[in-house]
Structure 1
Amino acid sequence: MRRRDLLLAAGAAALPGLATAASARRPNIVLIVADDLGWGDLGGYGARLIRTPRLDRMAREGARLTAAYASANICTPSRAGLLTGRYPIRTGLAWDVVRQSDTVGLPPSEITLAEMLKPDYATALVGKWHLGHVAPYWPPTVQGFDLFYGLPYSHDMKPLALYAAQAPGVELTREDVDSPRLTQRFFDRGLAFVETNRARPFFLMLALTAPHVPLEPNPDHPHRSPAGAYGDVVEEIDAGVGRLLDRLKTFGLDRDTLVIVTSDNGPWFEGSAGPWRERKGGSGWEGGFRVPFVARHPGVIPAGIVSDAPSMNIDLLPTLAAWTGSPLPAVTLDGRDISTMLKRRGAPSPHEALLLFDNEAIAGIRAGRWKYLVRSYYRTDDLPLDAYDYGLLFDMTLDPGETYNLAARHPEVLAGMKARLATARAEFGPLAKGPRTRRK
Structure 2
Amino acid sequence: MTNDSCLRVLTILIGIVLAPVSIGTAAEQPERLPNIVFMFADDLGYGDLGCYGHPYARTRAIDRLAEEGTLFTQFYVTGVTCNPSRTGLMTGVHPARFPKYAADFGFGDRVAITQLLKERGYATGHFGKWHIGPEDADGTYGIDLIETIGKSREASKGRDYDLYAAAIQFIKDNHEKPFYVNIWGHATHFPVNTPLELVAHFNNVTVNRDDFSPTMQSKFDECLQIEGDLDVSMRQYLGDVHQIDLNVDRVLKTLDELGLAENTIVVFSSDHGPAPVVLGNKGARKYSNNMLGYAGQLRGGKHSQYEGGTRVPFIIRWPKHVPAGRTDDQSVCSFIDWLPTLCSIAGIQEVPDKLDGEDISLAWYGQTHKRITPLFWKSSSPGSEPAMRKGKWKLHLPTRRNAEVELYDLSVDPSESTNVAKQNPEVVAELSTRLQGWKAELPKTYQKTEGKRDRDD
Shorter chain as normaliser: what TM range? 0.7 to 0.9
2:389 is equivalent to residue 366 of structure 1: yes
Q: Which residue of 2 aligns with 1:333?
A: 355
2:324 is equivalent to residue 303 of structure 1: yes
Q: Which residue of 1 aligns with 2:410?
A: 396
Q: Which residue of 1 aligns with 2:419?
A: 405
2:161 is equivalent to residue 184 of structure 1: yes
How far is the alpha carbon of 1:46 from its aligned partner?
0.9
Q: Deviations over 1:155-194 (max 9, x none)?
A: 6xxxxxx8xxxxxxxxxxxx96969743111111111111
How far is the alpha carbon of 1:211 from its aligned partner?
0.8
- Scaled by the length of structure 1, what TM-score is found? 0.80
Q: Which residue of 2 aligns with 1:354?
A: 375
Choose from 437, 441, 457 the match for 1:423.
437
How far is the alpha carbon of 1:116 from its aligned partner?
0.9
Q: Which residue of 1 aligns with 2:66?
A: 59
How far is the alpha carbon of 1:302 from its aligned partner?
0.7
User: For 1:216 and 1:327, how far apart are their aligned partners in 2?
Assistant: 46
Q: Which amino acid aligns with 1:232?
A: G
Q: Which residue of 1 aligns with 2:116?
A: 116
Choose from 62, 69, 75 the match for 2:76.
69
User: For 2:70 and 2:30, how far apart are their aligned partners in 1?
Assistant: 28
Q: Which residue of 2 aligns with 1:433?
A: 446
Q: Which residue of 2 aligns with 1:169?
A: none
User: For 1:107 and 1:343, how far apart are their aligned partners in 2?
Assistant: 30
Q: Deviations over 1:238-266 (max 9, x none)?
A: 11111211221111111100000011111
Q: Which residue of 2 aligns with 1:223?
A: 200
* Structure 1 SS opposite 2:183: strand
Change (3 A) 1:267 1:251: same
Contact 1:129 1:140 survives alignment (8 Å): no
User: For 1:223 and 1:349, how far apart are their aligned partners in 2?
Assistant: 45
Change (3 A) 1:108 1:406: closer
Q: Which amino acid aligns with 2:351?
A: P
Count of paired positions: 381
* Structure 2 SS opposite 1:194: helix
User: For 2:423 and 2:113, how far apart are their aligned partners in 1?
Assistant: 43
Q: How does 1:28-43 map to 2 (within 5 A)?
A: 28-43=35-50
How far is the alpha carbon of 1:108 from its aligned partner?
4.5
Change (3 A) 1:19 1:190: same
* Structure 2 SS opposite 1:185: helix
* Structure 1 SS opposite 2:47: helix
How far is the alpha carbon of 1:327 from its aligned partner?
3.1
Change (3 A) 1:232 1:422: same
Change (3 A) 1:313 1:396: same
Superposed CA RMSD: 2.6
* Structure 2 SS opposite 1:406: coil
Q: Which residue of 1 aligns with 2:252?
A: 245
* Structure 1 SS opposite 2:160: helix
How far is the alpha carbon of 1:132 from its aligned partner?
2.5
Q: Deviations over 1:14-45 (max 9, x none)?
A: x9x95424562100000011110100001111
Q: Which amino acid aligns with 1:197?
A: N
User: For 2:237 and 2:50, how far apart are their aligned partners in 1?
Assistant: 15
User: For 1:117 and 1:337, how far apart are their aligned partners in 2?
Assistant: 16
Q: Which residue of 2 aligns with 1:203?
A: 180
Contact 2:45 2:270 survives alignment (8 Å): yes
Q: Deviations over 1:306-360 (max 9, x none)?
A: 2232211111111111121123432311111111112224x13334310021334
Choose from 34, 56, 59 the match for 1:27.
34
How far is the alpha carbon of 1:91 from its aligned partner?
3.0
Choose from 235, 239, 250 the match for 1:232.
239
How far is the alpha carbon of 1:68 from its aligned partner?
1.1
Q: Which residue of 2 aligns with 1:381?
A: none
Change (3 A) 1:69 1:313: same
Q: Which amino acid aligns with 1:105?
A: F
- Scaled by the length of structure 2, what TM-score is found? 0.77
Q: Which residue of 2 aligns with 1:293?
A: 314
Contact 2:97 2:443 survives alignment (8 Å): no
Contact 1:77 1:93 survives alignment (8 Å): no
User: For 1:48 and 1:423, how far apart are their aligned partners in 2?
Assistant: 42
